[in-house]
A and B are shown apart, each in its own frame.
Chain A
Amino acid sequence: MANSPELATDKLQLAKSLVDFLEAGNDQDAVSVIAELAGFRDSVLFQEVGRLTRELHDSINGFVMDAKFADIAQNEMPNAAERLRYVIATTEQAANTTLGAVEESLPLADSLRSDARHLADQWAKFKSRQLTVEDFRDLSAELSEFLTVTQANTEALHERLSDVLLAQGYQDLTGQVIRKVIDLVNDVEGKLVELVRLSGHRSKPATEPTGKEKDISAQGPAVPGVDKGDVVHGQDDVDDLLSSLGF
């Protein structure tokens, strides 16, 4: 740009007229020619600065306008907080279910153990013929009582253990949600690296296509406050929907 042939001819022309003016002692015209020559340099400089400014501006604009970036700032970050809150709530619920089941189970197991110990003692006495007929009648009643209680207690224990088993589903549910947050963190990291590159030496922002997720693509568990779309609430909703489809 600075060395275009036209510009060079113009400059040469001006330089020659400057010599002419100086030789003729025409100081006034000579000064104005010098000013004009200096103007060339300034305008080239301004143009270059202008070009750099525009490029930087475009790069930054392109970066900010990158839909994915805006989406991260406006939606993904707040959603990530909601998702993590869901993880806390879900793990808390699972822990409480498990602790509750354990607290209810321990006394059941303890009472079985102490009843069995008492009966074992009595039984040992019976075998060594230390029991009176009266004592034996009591032992017999206690034994039949124990068998009934054992059935009920083990059934209750089984139920509590099943609750504990099902409560472990939290690991799957929260795992899916945490994976999404990890994806976001990776995304943000990528964007930050891009920002650093941009401020270091100007680079073209990556313009990835960012279309919304396909409607049936896997979303993981619906997180309250994040997934406000057309989501079913619990098994009854699923059953209603399926029966409306002829299931």
Chain B
Amino acid sequence: MNKNMKILIVDDFSTMRRIIKNLLRDLGFTNTQEADDGTTALPMLQSGNFDFLITDWNMPGMQGIDLLKAVRADDRLKGIPVLMVTAESKREQIVEAAQAGVNGYVVKPFTAGTLEEKINKIFERVAA
């Protein structure tokens, strides 16, 4: 896995963005940027050559599920792996995210181990 890959972290709570950013740094990923909802994230993705997207679901403006759908509908972005890190825990929602093409789903509150495991799994699959 390329530790230099460019990662976009999308969450409306800056505390959660910092937590994820720090956990990623702990795992060796230092090339991260942040956005506070889908509306700001989408143009960043379109112009930023990101390799990986980590997004929350419940955000004002554009929600994470809509960001995921927009990414999958965009020819240049549709291949980007997306990990959802969210407090949304209804089965319908998880099914919806899976159908929309999410690569991994982590429910908050989560552990550093869970985040690492899901990221590893996603990139093992991408490499295979």
Residues of A in contact with B (beta carbons under 8 Å apart): 162, 165-166, 168-173, 175-176, 215-216, 218-222, 229-235, 238, 241-242, 245, 247
**Pairs A–B under 8 Å by Cβ, sample size 8:** A165-B19, A166-B111, A171-B13, A221-B89, A222-B87, A232-B90, A234-B107, A238-B106
| A-binding segment of B2-10, B47-55, B94-102 | B94-102
Residues of B in contact with A (beta carbons under 8 Å apart): 11, 13, 15-16, 18-19, 22-23, 26, 57-59, 63, 65, 87-96, 98, 105-112, 114
Which chain A residue shows the least CB distance to B13?
A: A172
A169 and B106 in contact, given A176-B58, A238-B94, A241-B91 (Cβ under 8 angstroms): no
A-B Cβ contacts below 8 A, count? 96
Q: How far is the CB of B112 from chain A (nearest CB, A)?
A: 6
B63 cross-chain contacts in A, Cβ below 8 A: 218
A220 and B58 in contact, given A165-B23, A175-B13 (Cβ under 8 angstroms): yes
Whether B98 contacts A231 by the Cβ 8 Å rule is no
B87 cross-chain contacts in A, Cβ below 8 A: 172-173, 176, 220-222
B88 cross-chain contacts in A, Cβ below 8 A: 218-220
A245 and B15 in contact, given A169-B108, A218-B88 (Cβ under 8 angstroms): no
Whether A232 contacts B22 by the Cβ 8 Å rule is no
Whether A231 contacts B91 by the Cβ 8 Å rule is yes
Which chain B residue shows the least CB distance to A239?
A: B105
Whether A230 contacts B92 by the Cβ 8 Å rule is yes
CA distance A218 to B96 in the complex (A): 12
Contacts beyond the supplied A215-B92, A231-B90, A242-B94: 6 A-B pairs with Cβ under 8 Å? A221-B108, A234-B107, A238-B105, A238-B106, A238-B107, A241-B94
Q: How far is the CB of B62 from chain A (nearest CB, A)?
A: 11
A169 cross-chain contacts in B, Cβ below 8 A: 15-16, 19, 108-110
